Structure 1
């Protein structure tokens, strides 16, 4: 016999939307600061690469840490939406990645563009799993 679980509360509430928007503004400002601090090196947009790899690691870490805390509460939901969707969603950037790859290809450096795309995708995947591993390890040690 199965029991129906209670439905999740709606996401489209003013306070949650504001939380995601505020987090997104913070994350975007962080990415902008990173872009000012890190130059392009050898055609590689280091700031975008750093933001995406660091963001993937932190998203993996946050997700694992929240899952290990148990069922989602209102506080955990706000944390997930504010930090994950908001801050880290604004900090990471697929649109800049796509623009930079197109810029590299149209600039005649398709090899650099291909390497940059591959490093970003594979590195992001590995960074995410490193974040998951680290959060799991820290929880097991606690």
Structure 2
């Protein structure tokens, strides 16, 4: 049942991301503004939801993994980095950041030039 809720949430999140993109395009703004908006907003909302979920011992998979995961994956990246900081795993955190950012750029470039 949780898997179904995550899938439904993913559809909601992807739709919200699409609506954001369309709104930015209608405003004649650069499309990367939409990415910035969803990444920052998604990170903020995931921080609020994750903290609330932990404090209240409630599963918010529909919202966190589903909606926010469909809206942006950057929010999950931010959450993972903050968890590593809280756990004082600074070397692992730096490896995680570099691997995700540079690795993501490298793999995108490889796919782009395939």
TM over 0.5: yes
Match of 1:89 among 64, 69, 78: 69
Instruction: Identify the residue that residue 23 of structure 2 maps to in structure 1.
Output: 37
How many residue pairs align between the two structures?
78
Is it true that 1:67 corresponds to 2:67 in the alignment? no
Unaligned runs of 5+ in 1: 1-14, 107-142
- The CA distance in 2 between the partners of 1:58 and 1:93, in whole Å, is 12
- The question of whether the paired residues in 2 share the 8 Å contact of 1:27 and 1:90 is answered with yes
Q: Encode CA deviations 1:28-52: one digit per residue, 9 max, x unaligned.
A: 00000000001374x5610111001
**2 CA distance for matches of 1:84 and 1:20?**
9
Alignment of 1:5-24 (within 5 A): 15-24=1-10
CA RMSD of aligned residues (A): 2.8
CA contact (8 A) 2:9 2:62 kept: yes
User: 1:48 aligned to 2:35?
Assistant: yes
Partner of 2:13: 27
TM-score (norm 2): 0.59
Contact 2:13 2:66 (8 Å CA) reproduced: yes
TM-score of the two chains, using structure 1 as the length reference: 0.48
Structure 2: gaps spanning 5 or more residues: 75-103
Structure 1 segments of 4 or more deviating over 4 A?
none
- Structure 1 or 2, whichever has the larger Rg, is 1
More helix by share: 2
Q: Are the aligned partners of 1:27 and 1:88 in contact in 2 as well (CA < 8 Å)?
A: yes
